Structure 1
Amino acid sequence: MRGVQQIKKIQTDDKKKFYNYLNLKLTGLICEESDWLANLSNASALLWLLLEDINWAGFYLYKNGELVLGPFQGKPACTHIQIGKGVCGTAAKELKTQVVEDVNKFEGHIACDSASKSEIVIPIVKNEKLVGVLDIDSPILNRFDKEDALYLEKFVDTLNKYMDWSKVI
């Protein structure tokens, strides 16, 4: 049985330092674990634990031409999302990170939690194929910016480095 490393919140205004810590902890959690479900569960729990001002963090996985709810932390969520619909479906269709400052101004936003005010969605692409998306919601307007996008894309890169996505899709 593998033990879980000590994970502590860090207090810093330096996003680079924060996200480097986050990715270091992610690597420690998943680098020796082959089970995709365990890894995505721990990844969403890590985001939930360490990111401030969020109310949902998790994954939607690409299956049978749509996004299907995967491991997450937060309130119950939409189970199926069509490609091109909402922020997650748009990120999946465009294969481009979506940073939404105000979800009420995003045409076609899917409101799983009415408390969500802003959102960031990072597509997960491996070998030029869509695997899914990382979705994070916040009850704060303008919670996410380009710097968050850059570092959360690195979080997804860390997942891609250690995950065997062929067992997921």
Structure 2
Amino acid sequence: MEQTGSFPVKLYVYDLSRGMARQLSSLMLGKQLDGIWFVCCLCYRHTAIVVHGKEYFFVGEGINSCSPGGTPLGEPDSIVDLGFTEVPAEIFTEYLTSLAESTFRGDKYNLFEHNCNTFSNEVAQFLTGKKIPSYITDLPSEVLSTPFGRALRPLLDSIVINPGGSNITGQR
């Protein structure tokens, strides 16, 4: 049965560095940053979309889901209200399945160019017509433009983050 109505859409933001990004960014990057929205040595920000009572995110094994705040990461460090969607759960599930079989397959994951933040941004636009905050999506290129970021890129390219959850295509 298809749901009708308006459903809240949230962006969950997790700081895997537990505040170290803020403390070490000046030393490592030559500028103060409030957070680093991807892996950079000790620092990582992970994002997910929460809608229809579930949390959805993209990791190295594909699109995963869990109950909101249900990954081993615990509760998010911040929640951004993205507005509301009229997209019912059934249509959203079809959309996610399509993404999981194409654009957001696990083998398409790339820490810098095609990651959880890319996924959250695309899904947010599908659901609400709005992007996630640019301070999240723009930071990878900003950090990679620093000497430290360029030096660490080969190492960081091999890192894949997986905070748990169930793969939406049932594959592991």
So what's the TM-score if we normalise by structure 2?
Answer: 0.30
Larger radius of gyration: 2
Calculate the TM-score normalised by the size of structure 1. Answer: 0.30
